[in-house]
Structures are given as C-alpha cells and as structure tokens.
A and B are shown apart, each in its own frame.
Chain A
C-alpha cells in the first residue's frame, strides 16, 4: 500500500540554524499538508499546498516557514532560523481529495532545537 515517507526521522539543530524537513507524498495525490505536534499537545495545522502554491496557512506559519515542491515528488518544509519553541514532531500529509478529505500521514520528523 502506498505511504507517505518523511526524512529524517529525527533532526537536532541549534537555535538560529535553518532546517529542511522532507516528505515524499503518495504519488497520485495533489494536496499536501504540514502539521506539527509539540510534545504532549494536540496536532496543529501549519499549511496546505496545491498546484504549486500555498492554499491555506495557519497563524503559526509565519515568515520563518516556507514550503516547496522542488521536483514533482518531494515536498519540503523549511524553517529559516529555528527557535526553541519550534521543537516538535512535524507531520507531512497528502490527499487526493476524491476520498472524502481523507489525509494520509507520514511517520513524522522529530525536530529538537537546542
């Protein structure tokens, strides 16, 4: 069964550094998402992406964040200058939208900012 994959599984970075989290969505999906989950808290929506542009973003997704689909298969989330409070699990998801808004989630990348 097709699945969403994410790399790396765990990333440790120093405050102020740039990080790029990578995702490979399911191949025939057209809608892509990033969510995050701070330890012990609920999953929060960050951004959705369709047709090579952001379709919706949350207030969390400020100018420090950006997304890109550089090559037709990968979907990346970049944090330009990480802060301690960016430490979280980041989930990528994708959807075909023809299955009742069902989103398929990747296993997540745990980002630790020190």
Chain B
C-alpha cells in the first residue's frame, strides 16, 4: 500500500540547533516527494521537492532534504533553526496519480 509517515507530531529545537523532521513513504512506484510549510492561519507553501534528479534537494529558507531510496525516506533538515521556522511541516507524496498524499504533519517549535 502507498503511504506517507511523519514520525513525531511535535518537535522542539533550540534556536541555532539542527532541525530534523522525518518522513518515510511506502510505494511500489518511484514517487515525487514534497515538503510544504504551513504558518499559523496561512496556506501551504512549497519548501522543496524531489523529482528524480539530485537526491539532495535544497529549498527555500535554508532547508534541504535527502532522498534515500534504500531507506524510503525524505527527511527535512536545516543546520541552524531560526525563530521564524516555527510552523507546521507536511511531507507529501505523489505516487504517479492525480493527488498528493500528505503525512500527518510535524509542528516545529523553536526554543529561544
């Protein structure tokens, strides 16, 4: 079955610390992978996407993600957290059909 799993519904990191948000997927076909960010009371903004080119993908706001086929993972990282990174982050996958399948989301809190 095709699915997306985000481990950790809440993650807290100190300002300046590494951010790591986890996403794993299950798919029988090569997926297209995305990370979206949702700030409070706002819509979904694309952070970055993997589309079978480079496995390390750089996005906006200093975020990057690495596609690891052997681990079926697409974890999101940022070397140094900023207060403005506090938001909800969603991993989403297109399994080659019409829709995006979203993970349950991870709420990132930044501790001053």
Contact = CB atoms under 8 A, between A and B. Distances in A.
Contacts of A104: 46
Contacts, number: 54
Given A102-B34, A105-B43, A107-B43, A55 B98 contact: yes
A106 B46 CA distance: 11
Interface residues of B, number: 22
Interface residues of A, number: 23
B74 interface: no
Contact of A101 (B32, B43, B90, B105): B32
B50 to A, nearest CB: 9
A75 interface: no
A100 B99 contact: no
Given A100-B51, A105-B44, A45 B100 contact: yes
Contact of A44 (B45, B97, B102): B102
